[in-house]
Every structure is written in structure tokens, then in C-alpha cells.
Amino acid sequence: MLNYKTHSEKVSLIKEGKLSLKENISFFLNQIDEKKNLNAFNFVFNDCINQAESIENKIKQGKAGKLAGMVIGIKDVLSIQDKPLTCSSNILREFKSVYTATAVQKLIDEDAIIIGKTNCDEFAMGSSNENSAFGKVLNPYDNTRVPGGSSGGSAVAVAANLCDAALGTDTGGSIRQPASFCGIFGLKPTYGRVSRFGLTAFASSFDSIGPFTNSVDDAALILEVIAGEDLKDSTCQKKPVPEYSKELSDERKFTIGIPKEYFAQGLNPEVKESIEKKIEELRSKGHSFVNIELPHTEYSIATYYILTTAEASSNLARYDGAHYGYRTKKPSNLNEMYTLSRTEGFGSEVKRRIMLGTYVLSAGYYDAYYRKAQKVRRLLKKDFDNAFSKVDVILTPVCPNVAFKIGEKTNDPLAMYLEDIYKTSANLVGIPGISIPIAKNSEGLPIGMQLMANQLEESKLLLFSKMV
Ligand code: GLN
């Protein structure tokens, strides 16, 4: 079993000779094998164990990087040179990356050990990890339930002790929701804080890369490693990266906003109660709470699904059978080659999004849908700007409910999309958000709480998360 809670504890144990990195990695590899039924990994890199000795030596000599020996799973939408990159789609089943994503390279440069590629919804589209060409992922707390999505494999890998941490991506909640369903921490950074170079694009103005961890400390540490300017991503923020992991001990008091729109109808009573209990606890520690309004919240889901499908329809045009990925067998002409390659290669949710996106961008509908949604996006930003002029952080549920049953929402895309109700705003306005495990419900299923801060205020967000 693991006898450390944070990475710095792990490193101390290694230094004192109480933990062997090799045994630690083989523990994880065995766990992955034993818990194969969870289906968290698309690919496991068994040979990562060969790095153990040299990294352990570096740790003992005090020459190791910040993440030395941290065993990390990578969502299978991020590139690692010469390794498969499938996005859990048949269209990329045989594809191998030709370069490494900046975020992953930064982990490697700090001596992290990459243990494999984790399962996810196809092209990160989904909230349950049921849309994967590699099969669904099971929730480790109850195998009849979903782990959440789209980064379900990454969340399960951490929650089921298959690795120390994992990278996921969050376009509309795909880090925060599975973290909440699996009882771990999931951090979605400010848009542009982490380079998207080497991340397969879903909706380029929304996509963010972030960590799944067992502690706030590890989330802070990973973020400070992967964040920062990158000349290979022009949307990347240029601001210097604070040492988040060293800013977690301040005792300051926070002003926290509670938006009434996030506690309205539809919120499960047990989830609501746990959050209210937490609020009381924090109030008694001297933090102050104010009621705020985010009046355009009710339009966030519609806005999100118009804009992200529009971007996806354009981004996914590159999978045409000609450039890379799957090509249909024996097409009779060029047009048929394109059509059949895409028809056979993509799963149904991805096709639904491409069609929706093509529709909202088409002549005659562009103004009514796409342009209008862009305007609402601006209004949402204004809502949050107003709120953050009064409060440090905003506190909300992550999801209306705990993990739902496998198959429960697969035939009802609208019900599935509504899962994202509390999460898409952070992506629409580009702010950071974190999911924090705060309780279990009467059936023992994890309940998460979300905190959001203004753009580039991860320091505040993490500091307050540590106090929760
Ligand atoms: N569930 C949302 C969707 O299906 C979010 C996906 C994501 O964040 N990648 O679009």
C-alpha cells in the first residue's frame, strides 16, 4: 500500500530509504493489471520501470527535478512522441504522435514518470466516459456507475491508486466532473495558462490542460511545472508562473461568493447539504460569505454547446482519411473516400457534434446561433467580472448529483449535456476552477465542491482550496 499523501512526503521516504521507487512503480503496474476491469488505461508503458533507478539516485543525490518519481497517467488526447495518440477514437486507432505536447514534456523534464495513456470520451466529448472506442470506464466506488467524463480514465487512475497523478483536459468540465465523481482533486487552470501545443483540439478557445491529484499540494506542484509561456501556442499566457506549491501556507481570510443560480432547482439535496455544511465550517474559521448573482447562467449550456460544436466541426475536419488516421477500404471515388472514412471512423456523439457545429455556422443560421452565442459569452464574462470585483472566489457545486448509473443518460443527449450546468461557465469566461472532494453521500459515493477564481488567480484558488 501507499504510505504517502503528497509528492514531497514520497520524496522524503525515498531519500530516507523507506520507499523504493522501483517497488512503487511495480505496485502501480500490478494495480493497473489487477483493476483492468475499470478500463482506465488505453495503453500502459510497462517499460517506465526502467527509469526508476536513475531517478531514485538523482533524488538521493539532491539533483532531481520537482516531480522526481511522480508516476503520472496522461489522457489519450495529449501527444507523446512515438506513442499512440487515439483520442479514444477509431479514426486515430493506429496513429502515433510525432512530437510531445509541451505540458507532457515539462513533466518529463522534471523527472516525472509517464505510466500510460488514459481512456476518455472520444475526442473529449462527453460527461460519462461511455463514448470511447476503447470501451467505457467504471467508477471505482461503484462499478455500475460512470466515473464522469471526458477525462474519466485519468480520474479513475488516480482514485483507484493506479498512479500518483494524471493529466486531463477540461473544455466544459472534463477535469472537474470526473474528479468530483471519483473523490479526488481536479484543477482546470485559466485558459492559456498551460500550453495547448500537442493537445488534440476539441474547441480551441475552451480547451485547458490540468492535473488530477490526491492533494491540493500536488495540484499546485504540477500546475507550476506545466504552466507558462510557449512559443508554440500563441494563445498561451505570457505572465510569469508563481511557485504555487510554496504559497499554500498563508492564513489570510477570504471573501467567498455564493451564486444563487447554482443552488436552484435540480440540485440533489444530499449534495446541497454537504456544501452548506462546508460553508458553515469555513464561516466559523473566519471567512466571509456573500450572495452574488450570475444572471446569465441559464444560457451557459446552450452557449457552450453552440460554440464548442462550431469549433469542433472545424477542428475535426482534418480527419478526412487523406491526412492521417483511418481510411476506408476500397472507396470508389475521392468523395466516397472522405465520406466513408469519417462515417466509419467517428463515433455517434462526435458525429452529432460535427453536424450541430456545421449547422450553427451555416449561412442563414450563423447570426441566429453562432454570433448570438458569442455575444452571450461576453455577457457571461461581465457577470463574472462584476462578481470578482466583490469576492475572492466563487463557491458552487460541481455537479447537480453524484455519479450516475452506466447507461442512464446515453439515450438522452440533453440530459447528458445538462450534467455540465455548473461547469461550462468557467470555460466560457476562461477562469480557473477546481473540484474538491468534501463528503460521501449515504451510499458512499463522493461529493465534490467547486471553487472558481478570476483569470490567473490560481494562487488564491489553491491557497483557499488548501483551507477547505
Ligand atoms: N461534458 C462536456 C462535453 O461533453 C465537457 C467535455 C470536456 O470538458 N472535454 O462537451
Q: Which residue has the least CA distance to atom 5 on ligand 1?
A: 172
What is the fold of 1-290+393-468? Amidase signature (AS) enzymes (3.90.1300)
Neighbours of 467 (CB within 10 A): 15
Spatial CB neighbours of 175, under 8 Å, sequence gap ≥ 6: 151, 154, 168, 169, 186, 187, 188, 208, 210, 212, 435
| Averaged pLDDT, 421-438 | 98
Q: What is the DSSP string of 366-427?
A: TIIIIIHHHHHHHHHHHHHHHHHTT-SEEEEESSSSSPPBTTSSTT-HHHHHHTTTTTHHHH
Kindly give the distance from the C-alpha atom of residue 193 to the centroid of ligand 1, in angstroms, as a whole number.
19
Question: pTM of the prediction?
Answer: 0.98
Give the rounded percent of residues in the chain with a pLDDT score beyond 90. 96
Residue 320 to residues 244, 308, 327, 337, 357, Cα–Cα distance (Å)? 42, 20, 8, 8, 17
Give the rounded percent of residues in the chain with a pLDDT score beyond 70. 100
Q: Which residue has the least CA distance to atom 10 on ligand 1?
A: 125
The 185-188 sheet, strands edge to edge: 41-44, 113-118, 71-75, 165-170, 208-213, 185-188, 433-440, 446-453, 393-397, 255-259, 288-292
* Ligand 1 pocket, CB under 6 A: 124-127, 150, 169-174, 202, 308, 420
| Averaged pLDDT, 203-212 | 98
**pLDDT at position 415:** 86
Hey, which of 76, 118, 119, 121 would you mutate to test ligand 1's pocket, going by the most ligand atoms within 8 Å of its Cβ? 121
| Averaged pLDDT, 254-279 | 96
| Averaged pLDDT, 352-359 | 98
| Averaged pLDDT, 378-402 | 98
Neighbours of 407 (CB within 10 A): 12
Cβ–Cβ under 8 Å, residues 172 and 429: no
Kindly tell me if the per-residue pLDDT of 112 is higher than 80.
Answer: yes
Q: Which of 307, 305, 311 is nearest to 371 (CA)?
A: 307
Neighbours of 322 (CB within 10 A): 12
| Averaged pLDDT, 272-294 | 98
Cβ–Cβ under 8 Å, residues 153 and 145: no
2 confidence band (pLDDT: 50, 70, 90):
confident
Kindly give the distance from the C-alpha atom of residue 250 to the centroid of ligand 1, in angstroms, as a whole number.
34
**pLDDT at position 369:** 97
Q: What is the DSSP string of 78-102?
A: B--TTSB--TT-GGGTT-B-SS--H
Kindly give the distance from the C-alpha atom of residue 409 to the centroid of ligand 1, in angstroms, as a whole number.
14
Kindly tell me if the per-residue pLDDT of 8 is higher than 90.
Answer: yes
**Strand pairing report for 185-188 and 288-292:** unpaired
Q: Which helix (H) or strand (E) holds 288?
A: strand 288-292
Relative to the CA of 427, which ligand 1 atom is closest?
A: 8
Q: Point out which residues pair with 188 in neighbouring strands.
A: 433
Relative to the CA of 349, which ligand 1 atom is closest?
A: 4
Rounded Cα–Cα distance for residues 345 and 339 (Å): 10
Q: Point out which residues pair with 290 in neighbouring strands.
A: 257
**pLDDT at position 265:** 84
Catalytic amino acids?
75, 150, 174
Kindly give the distance from the C-alpha atom of residue 203 to the centroid of ligand 1, in angstroms, as a whole number.
10
Hey, which of 167, 174, 316 would you mutate to test ligand 1's pocket, going by the most ligand atoms within 8 Å of its Cβ? 174
Hey, which of 121, 128, 171 would you mutate to test ligand 1's pocket, going by the most ligand atoms within 8 Å of its Cβ? 171
119 confidence band (pLDDT: 50, 70, 90):
very high
Neighbours of 11 (CB within 10 A): 20
Q: Which residue has the least CA distance to atom 4 on ligand 1?
A: 126
Relative to the CA of 174, which ligand 1 atom is closest?
A: 8
Relative to the CA of 202, which ligand 1 atom is closest?
A: 9
Cβ–Cβ under 8 Å, residues 228 and 195: yes
**pLDDT at position 295:** 97
Q: Spell out the long-range contacts of 244-248 with Cβ–Cβ below 8 A and sequence spacing 24 or more.
A: 244/220, 244/458, 244/459, 244/462, 245/217, 245/220, 245/221, 247/220, 247/459, 247/462, 247/463, 248/216, 248/217, 248/220, 248/462, 248/463, 248/466
**pLDDT at position 1:** 59
**pLDDT at position 190:** 98
Rounded Cα–Cα distance for residues 468 and 328 (Å): 52
pLDDT tens for each residue of 169-188 = 999 999 999 999 999 999 99
**pLDDT at position 324:** 84
**pLDDT at position 414:** 86
Cα angle, residue 464 at apex, residues 461 and 468 outer, rounded to 5°: 130
> How far, rounded to the nearest angstrom, does the alpha carbon of residue 67 sit from its chain's CA centroid?
19
Kindly give the distance from the C-alpha atom of residue 32 to the centroid of ligand 1, in angstroms, as a whole number.
26
Neighbours of 366 (CB within 10 A): 14
**pLDDT at position 101:** 98
Kindly give the distance from the C-alpha atom of residue 52 to the centroid of ligand 1, in angstroms, as a whole number.
35
Rounded Cα–Cα distance for residues 49 and 7 (Å): 18
Q: How is the chain split into domains, by residue range?
A: 1-290+393-468
